[in-house]
Chains A and B, each alone.
Chain A
Amino acid sequence: DAMVIQNPRYQVTQFGKPVTLSCSQTLNHNVMYWYQQKSSQAPKLLFHYYDKDFNNEADTPDNFQSRRPNTSFCFLDIRSPGLGDAAMYLCATSEGPGVPYEQYFGPGTRLTVT
């Protein structure tokens, strides 16, 4: 089945140690998104790629970066994780940007910072 895959599902990193989360998709969608969801909070959009065009949300910290080497893969890099970065990170894809394209979500990666 076509789907959005996130690896790993659980990631533990140390304070200040760079970490990379991975997302891949078999839907051949043009847009890939990264959301951060802290406990009992709404998912918050960090940035998205429309093809190779990177779009950063205004309030996304510089500590968060992203790479999209090809259509199928997108990575979230956290350069120096702090305790406040512990969260669920959700990847989503859509065929096109904005409306009316539905977003399809992966299972998420839960990041713990020790």
Chain B
Amino acid sequence: KQEVTQIPAALSVPEGENLVLNCSFTDSAIYNLQWFRQDPGKGLTSLLLIQSSQREQTSGRLNASLDKSSGRSTLYIAASQPGDSATYLCAGRDDKIIFGKGTRLHILP
């Protein structure tokens, strides 16, 4: 059974710093790995989706990588801004989407 873990549960970083969020999954036979952003009390916004055949995806200041062999994905955020403060969830996809609990990110002005 697929399990997705995100550590740490919360992270505070000064504005302007680059940062990495981590996601690990137990079953390497995933079809894709997706990163979402969730603002407090709001729904999910898809950020990046990496297919199993891909190693990484980039969108603006965001870069997501996928290493199936080690069961890990990372989300890299460059030059962080206060507006990046949110919860970031990763989700692994086999026949269903399995979500992690998320990392609550706070960018300090």
Is the CB–CB distance between B43 and A104 below 8 Å? Answer: no
Given contacts A42-B100, A42-B101, A100-B51, contact A90 B43 (CB under 8 A): yes
Most buried by B among A6, A90, A99, A100: A99
Q: From residue 78 to 95 of chain B, which have CB atoms closer than 8 A to chain A? A: 89, 93-95
- Contact mask for chain A residues 29-50; partner B; CB cutoff 8 A; 1 contact, 0 none: 0000000000011110100000
Specify the main secondary structure of chain B where it touches its partner: strand
Instruction: Report yes or no: B96 in contact with A105, Cβ–Cβ below 8 A.
Output: no
A102 to B9, CA, bound (A): 26
Which residues on A sit within 8 Å (CB–CB) of B46? 102, 104-105
Say if the beta carbon of A96 comes within 8 Å of chain B: no
Chain A 99-111 interface mask (CB, 8 Å, partner B; 1/0): 1101111111010
B89 engages A45 (CB within 8 Å): no
Q: Among A41, A100, A102, A106, point to the contact of B43 (Cβ < 8 A).
A: A106
How many residues of chain B have a CB within 8 Å of chain A?
25
Are B96 and A45 touching (Cβ within 8 A)?
yes
Chief secondary structure at chain A's binding surface: loop
Report the bound CA distance from A42 to B34 in whole Å: 14
| A43 close to B42 (CB less than 8 A) | no
- Check: B77 CB closer than 8 A to any chain A CB: no
* Complex: A42 Cα to B98 Cα, angstroms: 8
**Contact digits for B47-67, partner A, Cβ 8 Å, 1 yes 0 no:** 001010000000000000000
Cβ of A74 within 8 Å of any chain B Cβ, yes or no, is: no
Q: Collect the chain B residues with CB atoms within 8 Å of residue A103's CB.
A: 97
Binding site for B on A (CB under 8 A): 6, 40-43, 45, 88, 90, 98-100, 102-108, 110
Q: Enumerate the 10 nearest inter-chain pairs by beta-carbon distance, A residue then B residue, closest first.
A: A42-B99, A108-B43, A99-B31, A107-B43, A105-B44, A42-B101, A43-B99, A105-B43, A98-B95, A106-B43
